[in-house]
Structure 1
């Protein structure tokens, strides 16, 4: 198991859930919910800040596939976001790789866990994205521990994305 803090991200249309791992990659915990801001790109700027604050060595972005493993509009949105984030991180003073990991049912699983903890749907709106990010990241950590290899697939940053989306 590789050592270092990982950041887990659940990309949504309105919000981005963020989770982190401990240094040993054993446990994922919630960090914050970042408002999605495709126009001004303040969302990516905030994520870059979190990466620096937590000294992250890898970012895991959830890849929302349908139940048959096919791409959807949400898949394209998350992939585009991961591409822009990867480009910005690659262009930073301390480049950090980004990986896409299958996140099927992560939000459903997070909702179930919150319901079991006695939280009502209305109470969970502000934290559901963080909880989904925890599920995504924990799945990635468990997968790496079981298989002995990095989870998902690496996002190849392009310099065009970094220049076009300069934050």
Structure 2
């Protein structure tokens, strides 16, 4: 069984998946969605959960640098609760502070153009969130 990692934004969700032994995370895709209507992701998430035999979901929790939860963090908490109820899988919130900036740095260091970075940044952030979770659980 694999673990799905998510970087949830207002317009897109970066998606990553673990290997079966929970050692590595790899990016799958970036899903466009309507944050005002969670059901817009139901079909795609059901497909991903089935296709990858997902047993758990890790959702990035964007905390403020002082550790408090702001508006985006609260939105992630609400979405995580929705996923848990909708798909009947355990959902873990994982501190994602600085993952988007770290993902951006990796892509810049790889000499990727700004246009290409924009297309993959959320997926890369999801990989970093999930990999951080996997590393901490070893």
Q: How far did residue 138 of structure 1 move?
A: 0.2
1:136-167: CA deviation from partner (whole Å, max 9, x where unpaired): 0000000001xxxxxxxxxxxxxxxxxxxxxx
Which residue of 2 is the match for residue 33 of structure 1?
A: 30
Q: How far did residue 44 of structure 1 move?
A: 3.4
Q: How far did residue 49 of structure 1 move?
A: 1.8
Q: How far did residue 39 of structure 1 move?
A: 2.4
Which residue of 2 is the match for residue 24 of structure 1?
A: 21
TM-score computed with the length of structure 1 as normaliser: 0.79
1:134 aligns with 2:131: no
2:47 paired residue among 46, 49, 55: 49
- For structure 2, the residue ranges without an aligned partner over 5 or more in a row are none
Q: How far did residue 89 of structure 1 move?
A: 1.1
Distance, in Å, in 2 between the alignment partners of 1:103 and 1:44 is 24
- For structure 1, the residue ranges without an aligned partner over 5 or more in a row are 91-95, 146-167
Q: Which has the higher Rg, Structure 1 or Structure 2?
A: 1
Which residue of 1 is the match for residue 102 of structure 2?
A: 109
TM-score computed with the length of structure 2 as normaliser: 0.95
Aligned pairs for 1:1-167 within 5 A: 4-37=1-34, 38-39=36-37, 41-90=39-88, 96-145=89-138
Distance, in Å, in 2 between the alignment partners of 1:70 and 1:40 is 25
Distance, in Å, in 2 between the alignment partners of 1:99 and 1:50 is 17
Query: Runs in 1 of length 4+ with deviation above 6 angstroms?
Result: none
RMSD: 1.1
Q: Report the secondary structure of 2:119's partner residue.
A: coil
Distance, in Å, in 2 between the alignment partners of 1:39 and 1:58 is 22
Q: How far did residue 120 of structure 1 move?
A: 2.1
Distance, in Å, in 2 between the alignment partners of 1:83 and 1:97 is 9
The worse-fitting range, judged by mean Cα deviation, of 57-66 and 113-122 is 113-122
